[in-house]
Amino acid sequence: MDLRPAVVLVRPREPGNVGATARAMGNLGLGELVLVEPAAPLDAVAQAFAVGARPILDRARRAADLGEALAPYARVVGTTSWRDRQLPRPALAPRDLPALLAADPPGTPSALLFGPERSGLTNEELAHCSHWVRIPCAPEHPTLNLAQAVLILAYEIHLAHSAMSATPASLTAPASNDSGAALARQAELEGLFAQTRELLERSVFARDESFAGVLVDLRQLLSRVGPSQREIAILRGVCRRIARHLR
What's the pLDDT at 47? Answer: 96
What's the pLDDT at 179? Answer: 54
Query: Could you tell me the mean pLDDT of each successive run of 10 residues in the chain, 247 residues long?
Result: 87 97 97 97 96 95 97 94 69 94 92 93 92 88 90 95 64 43 90 91 83 88 88 92 86
Closest CA to 132 of 151, 155, 115, 109: 115
Contact 147, 42 (CB under 8 A): no
Edge-to-edge strand ranges of the sheet holding 131-133: 61-63, 33-36, 6-10, 110-114, 75-79, 131-133
Domains within the chain, CATH numbers bracketed: 6-172 (3.40.1280.10), 186-246 (1.10.8)
Instruction: Tell me which amino acid residue 182 is.
Output: A
What's the pLDDT at 85? Answer: 63
Contact 109, 185 (CB under 8 A): yes
What's the pLDDT at 2? Answer: 66
Instruction: Tell me which amino acid residue 151 is.
Output: L
DSSP β-ladder status, 33-36 and 110-114: unpaired
Burial of 97 (0-12, 13-18, 19+ CB in 10 A): buried
What's the pLDDT at 181? Answer: 78
The residues, any chain, with a CB within 8 Å of residue 167's CB and separated by 6 or more, are none
> Rounded to the nearest 5°, which phi and psi values hold at 38?
-75, 130
Distance CA 130, CA 211 (A): 21
Contact 75, 101 (CB under 8 A): yes
pTM over 0.75: yes
What's the pLDDT at 233? Answer: 93
What's the pLDDT at 173? Answer: 40
Distance CA 100, CA 203 (A): 38
